[in-house]
Structure 1
Protein backbone atom coordinates (compact mmCIF):
# COMPACT_ATOMS: atom_id res chain seq x y z
CA UNK A 1 0.00 0.00 0.00
CA UNK A 2 1.35 3.43 -0.85
CA UNK A 3 2.04 6.18 1.72
CA UNK A 4 -1.09 8.15 0.82
CA UNK A 5 -3.30 5.11 1.43
CA UNK A 6 -1.67 4.47 4.80
CA UNK A 7 -2.13 8.12 5.85
CA UNK A 8 -5.80 8.06 4.84
CA UNK A 9 -6.39 4.83 6.76
CA UNK A 10 -4.68 6.26 9.86
CA UNK A 11 -6.73 9.47 9.68
CA UNK A 12 -9.88 7.42 9.24
CA UNK A 13 -8.98 5.31 12.28
CA UNK A 14 -8.25 8.48 14.28
CA UNK A 15 -11.64 9.95 13.31
CA UNK A 16 -13.43 6.78 14.42
CA UNK A 17 -11.57 6.82 17.75
CA UNK A 18 -12.40 10.52 18.21
CA UNK A 19 -16.10 9.88 17.51
CA UNK A 20 -16.11 6.93 19.94
CA UNK A 21 -14.52 9.12 22.62
CA UNK A 22 -17.06 11.90 22.03
CA UNK A 23 -19.91 9.39 22.22
CA UNK A 24 -18.55 7.87 25.45
CA UNK A 25 -18.08 11.33 26.94
CA UNK A 26 -21.62 12.33 26.00
CA UNK A 27 -23.03 9.11 27.49
CA UNK A 28 -21.03 9.63 30.70
CA UNK A 29 -22.40 13.14 31.05
CA UNK A 30 -25.94 11.98 30.35
CA UNK A 31 -25.63 9.15 32.87
CA UNK A 32 -24.29 11.62 35.40
CA UNK A 33 -27.21 13.99 34.82
CA UNK A 34 -29.77 11.21 35.06
CA UNK A 35 -28.06 9.85 38.17
CA UNK A 36 -28.18 13.30 39.74
CA UNK A 37 -31.86 13.58 38.94
CA UNK A 38 -32.65 10.21 40.48
CA UNK A 39 -30.52 10.64 43.60
CA UNK A 40 -30.99 13.09 46.39
CA UNK A 41 -27.39 14.28 46.08
CA UNK A 42 -26.68 17.96 46.43
CA UNK A 43 -25.08 19.14 43.22
CA UNK A 44 -24.77 22.82 44.11
CA UNK A 45 -21.50 24.70 44.40
CA UNK A 46 -19.67 24.30 47.67
CA UNK A 47 -18.12 27.37 49.27
CA UNK A 48 -14.97 25.38 49.90
CA UNK A 49 -14.47 24.35 46.26
CA UNK A 50 -12.06 26.36 44.20
CA UNK A 51 -13.49 27.67 40.97
CA UNK A 52 -11.19 27.00 38.05
CA UNK A 53 -12.93 29.41 35.69
CA UNK A 54 -14.25 32.87 36.32
CA UNK A 55 -17.96 32.88 36.90
CA UNK A 56 -19.80 34.05 33.82
CA UNK A 57 -23.22 35.55 34.48
CA UNK A 58 -26.21 33.83 32.92
CA UNK A 59 -29.27 35.79 31.92
CA UNK A 60 -32.77 34.52 32.51
CA UNK A 61 -33.18 34.23 28.73
CA UNK A 62 -30.06 32.04 28.45
CA UNK A 63 -31.29 29.77 31.25
CA UNK A 64 -34.63 29.46 29.48
CA UNK A 65 -32.85 28.60 26.23
CA UNK A 66 -30.79 25.96 28.04
CA UNK A 67 -33.81 24.41 29.72
CA UNK A 68 -35.76 24.35 26.44
CA UNK A 69 -32.81 22.78 24.60
CA UNK A 70 -32.50 20.03 27.23
CA UNK A 71 -36.24 19.28 27.28
CA UNK A 72 -36.31 19.18 23.47
CA UNK A 73 -33.69 16.41 23.43
CA UNK A 74 -34.97 14.19 26.23
CA UNK A 75 -35.12 11.18 26.59
CA UNK A 76 -32.31 10.68 24.05
CA UNK A 77 -28.69 11.17 25.14
CA UNK A 78 -27.82 14.77 25.90
CA UNK A 79 -25.22 16.13 23.50
CA UNK A 80 -23.96 19.26 25.22
CA UNK A 81 -22.35 20.55 22.03
CA UNK A 82 -25.73 20.48 20.29
CA UNK A 83 -27.43 22.01 23.30
CA UNK A 84 -24.88 24.86 23.36
CA UNK A 85 -25.83 25.73 19.78
CA UNK A 86 -29.30 26.67 21.08
CA UNK A 87 -27.93 28.89 23.87
CA UNK A 88 -26.64 32.33 22.90
CA UNK A 89 -22.99 32.94 23.77
CA UNK A 90 -22.34 29.83 25.89
CA UNK A 91 -20.05 26.84 25.36
CA UNK A 92 -21.02 23.22 25.90
CA UNK A 93 -18.98 23.15 29.12
CA UNK A 94 -20.71 26.27 30.44
CA UNK A 95 -24.11 24.76 29.59
CA UNK A 96 -23.31 21.50 31.35
CA UNK A 97 -21.94 23.30 34.42
CA UNK A 98 -24.96 25.63 34.59
CA UNK A 99 -27.33 22.67 34.36
CA UNK A 100 -25.56 20.53 36.89
CA UNK A 101 -24.51 23.12 39.45
CA UNK A 102 -27.36 25.60 39.35
CA UNK A 103 -30.48 24.59 37.49
CA UNK A 104 -30.63 20.94 38.59
CA UNK A 105 -30.10 21.94 42.20
CA UNK A 106 -32.85 24.57 41.99
CA UNK A 107 -35.17 22.08 40.30
CA UNK A 108 -34.63 19.52 43.05
CA UNK A 109 -35.29 22.10 45.76
CA UNK A 110 -38.47 23.17 43.99
CA UNK A 111 -39.76 19.60 43.67
CA UNK A 112 -38.85 18.80 47.28
CA UNK A 113 -40.78 21.80 48.58
CA UNK A 114 -44.02 20.79 46.86
Structure 2
Protein backbone atom coordinates (compact mmCIF):
# COMPACT_ATOMS: atom_id res chain seq x y z
CA UNK A 1 0.00 0.00 0.00
CA UNK A 2 1.52 3.33 -1.00
CA UNK A 3 0.99 6.75 0.57
CA UNK A 4 -1.98 7.66 -1.64
CA UNK A 5 -3.78 4.39 -0.86
CA UNK A 6 -3.19 4.93 2.87
CA UNK A 7 -4.51 8.49 2.65
CA UNK A 8 -7.59 7.41 0.69
CA UNK A 9 -8.27 4.68 3.24
CA UNK A 10 -8.04 7.22 6.08
CA UNK A 11 -10.31 9.69 4.26
CA UNK A 12 -12.77 6.88 3.52
CA UNK A 13 -13.21 6.27 7.24
CA UNK A 14 -14.57 9.78 7.82
CA UNK A 15 -18.33 9.57 8.37
CA UNK A 16 -19.19 12.05 5.57
CA UNK A 17 -16.76 10.60 3.00
CA UNK A 18 -17.63 6.96 3.79
CA UNK A 19 -21.20 7.24 2.54
CA UNK A 20 -20.21 7.88 -1.08
CA UNK A 21 -20.53 4.91 -3.44
CA UNK A 22 -20.53 4.58 -7.20
CA UNK A 23 -24.11 3.65 -8.06
CA UNK A 24 -26.67 3.74 -10.84
CA UNK A 25 -26.00 6.09 -13.70
CA UNK A 26 -22.59 7.13 -12.36
CA UNK A 27 -21.44 3.50 -12.33
CA UNK A 28 -22.97 2.96 -15.78
CA UNK A 29 -20.83 5.80 -17.17
CA UNK A 30 -17.69 3.93 -16.08
CA UNK A 31 -19.08 0.65 -17.40
CA UNK A 32 -19.91 2.14 -20.80
CA UNK A 33 -17.05 4.57 -21.33
CA UNK A 34 -14.22 2.83 -19.47
CA UNK A 35 -11.76 4.15 -16.94
CA UNK A 36 -9.49 5.72 -19.59
CA UNK A 37 -12.30 8.01 -20.77
CA UNK A 38 -13.34 8.78 -17.20
CA UNK A 39 -9.71 9.69 -16.42
CA UNK A 40 -9.75 12.15 -19.33
CA UNK A 41 -13.00 13.61 -17.99
CA UNK A 42 -11.37 13.94 -14.56
CA UNK A 43 -8.38 15.75 -16.06
CA UNK A 44 -10.68 18.20 -17.86
CA UNK A 45 -12.94 18.77 -14.85
CA UNK A 46 -10.03 19.32 -12.46
CA UNK A 47 -8.38 21.74 -14.88
CA UNK A 48 -11.55 23.79 -15.22
CA UNK A 49 -13.08 23.58 -11.73
CA UNK A 50 -10.29 23.03 -9.22
CA UNK A 51 -6.90 23.98 -10.66
CA UNK A 52 -7.26 27.81 -10.74
CA UNK A 53 -5.91 29.73 -7.75
CA UNK A 54 -9.41 30.97 -6.94
CA UNK A 55 -11.97 28.64 -8.53
CA UNK A 56 -15.42 30.02 -9.27
CA UNK A 57 -17.89 29.07 -6.50
CA UNK A 58 -15.13 27.41 -4.49
CA UNK A 59 -16.68 25.10 -1.94
CA UNK A 60 -19.81 24.69 -4.05
CA UNK A 61 -18.41 23.90 -7.50
CA UNK A 62 -18.70 20.11 -7.32
CA UNK A 63 -22.15 18.52 -7.62
CA UNK A 64 -22.87 15.42 -5.53
CA UNK A 65 -23.93 13.35 -8.55
CA UNK A 66 -24.22 13.46 -12.33
CA UNK A 67 -20.78 12.06 -13.17
CA UNK A 68 -18.58 9.46 -11.46
CA UNK A 69 -15.80 12.04 -11.10
CA UNK A 70 -18.05 14.26 -8.97
CA UNK A 71 -18.91 11.40 -6.61
CA UNK A 72 -15.24 10.41 -6.40
CA UNK A 73 -14.20 13.99 -5.65
CA UNK A 74 -16.41 14.05 -2.57
CA UNK A 75 -15.30 10.56 -1.51
CA UNK A 76 -11.60 11.49 -1.82
CA UNK A 77 -11.82 15.05 -0.43
CA UNK A 78 -10.75 16.57 -3.75
CA UNK A 79 -13.98 18.50 -4.26
CA UNK A 80 -12.78 22.03 -3.37
CA UNK A 81 -9.64 23.89 -2.41
CA UNK A 82 -10.57 23.82 1.29
CA UNK A 83 -10.81 20.01 1.25
CA UNK A 84 -7.59 19.75 -0.75
CA UNK A 85 -5.79 21.83 1.88
CA UNK A 86 -7.32 20.00 4.85
CA UNK A 87 -7.11 16.40 3.62
CA UNK A 88 -4.49 16.34 0.86
CA UNK A 89 -2.01 18.99 2.11
CA UNK A 90 -2.32 20.99 -1.13
CA UNK A 91 -2.54 24.67 -0.14
CA UNK A 92 -5.24 26.99 -1.47
CA UNK A 93 -4.63 30.43 -2.95
CA UNK A 94 -2.46 29.37 -5.87
CA UNK A 95 -3.02 27.44 -9.07
CA UNK A 96 -2.40 23.70 -8.88
CA UNK A 97 0.92 22.55 -10.31
CA UNK A 98 0.87 19.84 -12.97
CA UNK A 99 2.05 17.24 -10.44
CA UNK A 100 -0.76 18.23 -8.04
CA UNK A 101 -3.35 17.97 -10.81
CA UNK A 102 -2.04 14.52 -11.70
CA UNK A 103 -2.19 13.52 -8.03
CA UNK A 104 -5.83 14.62 -7.74
CA UNK A 105 -6.79 12.74 -10.92
CA UNK A 106 -4.97 9.63 -9.70
CA UNK A 107 -6.79 9.78 -6.35
CA UNK A 108 -10.14 10.07 -8.12
CA UNK A 109 -9.41 7.20 -10.51
CA UNK A 110 -8.09 4.92 -7.77
CA UNK A 111 -11.27 5.46 -5.78
CA UNK A 112 -13.41 4.68 -8.84
CA UNK A 113 -11.42 1.51 -9.59
CA UNK A 114 -11.67 0.59 -5.91
CA UNK A 115 -15.45 0.67 -6.18
CA UNK A 116 -15.17 -2.35 -8.49
CA UNK A 117 -12.84 -4.32 -6.21
CA UNK A 118 -14.50 -6.38 -3.48
CA UNK A 119 -13.41 -5.34 -0.01
CA UNK A 120 -12.05 -8.30 1.93
CA UNK A 121 -12.17 -8.26 5.73
CA UNK A 122 -8.79 -7.89 7.46
CA UNK A 123 -7.19 -11.19 8.39
- TM-score, with length taken from structure 2: 0.31
Structure with the higher fraction of residues in helix conformation: 1
Rg larger in structure: 1
